[in-house]
Amino acid sequence: MNEIINVIKTRRSIRRFLPEQIKDEEIQTIIEAAIHAPSGHNEQPWHFTVIQNKELIDHFSNVIKKLMAESEVEWIASMGRNEKLHIFYNAPTVIVVSGRKNAYSALIDCSAATQNMLLAAHSIGLGSCWIGLIRFLFKIEEEVRKLALPEGYEPFFAVALGYPDPTKQPRPIERKRDVVNYIK
Ligand SMILES: Cc1cc2nc3c(=O)[nH]c(=O)nc-3n(C[C@H](O)[C@H](O)[C@H](O)COP(=O)(O)O)c2cc1C
């Protein structure tokens, strides 16, 4: 099978990581993949904050869980109360993806960049998970300031990254097939 198709089809969200930190070259490869994503009007309106400070990652996880526990949505509240849950699955690296506020299509562009990151990570043997739940953190200005974003940017989501724990990896999941129609 074509290598790219194989990477796309075998990527899974990884939620068990080894504690060992990933290499700087690996981060560079992943960021390079991100910045080669397409973007509306070629604005490339993204920014990436690479966090490798365990204390800060744990702190963010705790803040997010506290806010989730207060949610009116039961599955979110129950996740927030789950003592065993770490929002970033104890990944040694977390990359926050932010977009320029006045860009034409920042959220879409940042999503494309994020998918590139997940695929690049998988292609070099790293595990990754897209973390949308980080949005709870973004409600608190004081926490967002800790990201030291450039002026005019807002954070959208995060990617947890690390070496996958080889003993506990997910199997392929069924994909919905009835999602296409053809007009010829
Ligand atoms: C926008 C978005 C937000 C997501 N947020 C989370 C998250 O906060 N935590 C998590 O564990 N997985 C999160 N995921 C991963 C999905 O749960 C996962 O992609 C889906 O279950 C399919 O599994 P797969 O990635 O292994 O194909 C998110 C995925 C997307 C696209």
Which class for 157: exposed (0-12), middle (13-18), buried (19 or more C-beta within 10 A)?
buried
What pLDDT does 138 receive?
A: 98
**pLDDT tens-digit profile of 1-31?**
899 999 999 999 999 999 999 999 999 999 9
| Distance from the alpha carbon of residue 147 to the mean position of ligand 1, in angstroms | 22
3-state secondary structure (DSSP) of residue 148: coil
pLDDT tens column, 69-85: 999 999 999 999 999 99
Ligand 1 atom at shortest distance from the alpha carbon of 133: 8
Q: What's the pLDDT at 1?
A: 81
Check residues 169 and 9 and name the one with the higher pLDDT.
9
For the domain 3-162, what is the CATH code?
A: 3.40.109.10
Protein residue with its CA nearest to atom 21 in ligand 1: 13
Confidence band (pLDDT; 50, 70, 90) for 134? very high
Q: Are 115 and 128 in contact (CB under 8 A)?
A: no
Of 182, 164, 181, 47, nearest to 109 (Cα)?
47
- Domain boundaries along the sequence of the chain: 3-162
Testing ligand 1's pocket by substitution, the residue of 57, 64, 110, 129 carrying the most ligand atoms inside 8 A of its CB is 129
User: What average pLDDT is seen over the chain?
Assistant: 97
What does the DSSP assignment read for 47-95? EEEEE--HHHHHHHHHHHHHHHHT-SSHHHHHHHH-TT--TTTT-SEEE
Would the CB of 13 count as within 6 Å of ligand 1?
A: yes
Q: What average pLDDT does this structure show over 42-50?
A: 98
Task: Give the pLDDT confidence score for residue 169 in this predicted structure.
Answer: 86
Say if ligand 1 is within 6 A of residue 52 CB.
no
Q: Using the mean position of ligand 1's atoms as its centre, give its distance from the Cα of residue 155 in Å.
A: 17
- DSSP lists the bridge partners of residue 130 as 159
Measured from the CB, is residue 129 less than 6 Å from ligand 1?
Answer: yes
Q: Measure 97 CA to ligand 1 centroid, in angstroms.
A: 15
- Residues 49-66 have pLDDT tens digits of 999 999 999 999 999 999
- Average pLDDT over every residue of 153-174: 95
Query: CA 40 → CA 100, 117, 151, 168, distances in Å?
Result: 12, 18, 21, 38
